[in-house]
Amino acid sequence: MKKAVVLLSGGLDSTTTLAIAKSEGFEVYALSFNYGQRHKIELELAEKNAEIFEVKKQLTVEFNMRDIGGSALTDDIEVPKNGTDNNKDNEIPITYVPARNTIFLSFALSWAESIGAGDIYIGANAVDYSGYPDCRPEYIKAFEDMANLATKISVEGNLKFHICTPLIRLSKAEIINKGIELNVDYSQTWSCYDPVFMKELGKHVPCLKCDSCILRAKGFEDAGVIDPLL
C-alpha cells in the first residue's frame, strides 16, 4: 500500500484533501501543527478527522511562531473583519503567516522521507482563497523541485516526491461537493481565524466576519448546501 503524508489542519480544505487521499487508496500519515495559532480549536478537529478517516498515524508537531511574528494569526494584531475586501486591492492580507506553508511542507517532507512516502498532500487552493503566495501552483512546483534535490532518498534515486494539490483549481463550492461525495462531515471542520467564546453555549463559535468565514459561507451558498457547523 502506497504511503502519503497529508497536511491536516482540521479546516474544510485539508479535511477534504484527507478524504481524497484516502479515496485514492493511500495509507495516510496525517500531520498537524500547533504553532501558536489563535484558532487552536482546529487541532481537536484534525485529530477527530484523522480518526474518522482511519489514518495510519497522526502526528502534531509543536513550535512557536509567535516569536517570529509578522501575522495576525499569531500576534496581537487584530484579525481583519472586512472579509475578502482585502483582495480587491490585490493585497495579501495580514492573516498571512510568513512562509508558513514552506515550514509545514518542510516538516511533511522530513516525515515523508523518514517513512518512505512519495506523496505529500496539501489542501492549497488558488481560486476562492485569500491570495496567499504559498497557495499558488508556481510555488508548489518550486517546492517540489527543491524537495527532490534536498533529500537523500530522492538524490539516491529511491523515491521521487510529489506535492499533491487536488483542490488547487477548484472553487470552494466544488470542494464542498467533492467532500460531501466522500462523506466528509463538515460539522467536524473549522475555518474561522478568530473564534468567539459564547458563554451561553459553553463553546467557541465562528466570528462569521473574517476572510476565512466569509469564503466558507460563500462556498456553502454556491454549493446550495447548509453549513452543518452553524
7 binds a copy of itself (CB under 8 A): no
**Which ranges constitute the DSSP H helices of 116-226?**
137-150, 152-155, 172-181, 211-223
Residue carrying the nine cell digits 460563500: 218
Q: Which three cell numbers stand for residue 219?
A: 462556498
User: In 45-187, which ranges are E strands?
Assistant: 57-62, 119-121, 162-164
Q: How far is the CA of 14 from the CAs of 124, 179, 190, in angstroms? A: 8, 10, 10
The span of 13-21, 104-112, 171-179, 192-200 binding a copy of itself (CB under 8 A) equals 104-112
Size of the site for a copy of itself (CB under 8 A): 46
Rounded CA gap, 67 and 214, in Å?
Answer: 29
From candidates 2, 85, 114, 158, binder to a copy of itself by CB under 8 A: 114
Site for a copy of itself in 128-187 (CB under 8 A): 132-134, 136, 138-139, 142-143, 145-147, 149-156
The span of 59-67, 189-197, 200-208, 222-230 binding a copy of itself (CB under 8 A) equals 59-67
Q: Which residues make up the interface to a copy of itself (CB under 8 A)?
A: 59, 61-65, 67-70, 92, 96-103, 106-107, 109-111, 113-115, 132-134, 136, 138-139, 142-143, 145-147, 149-156
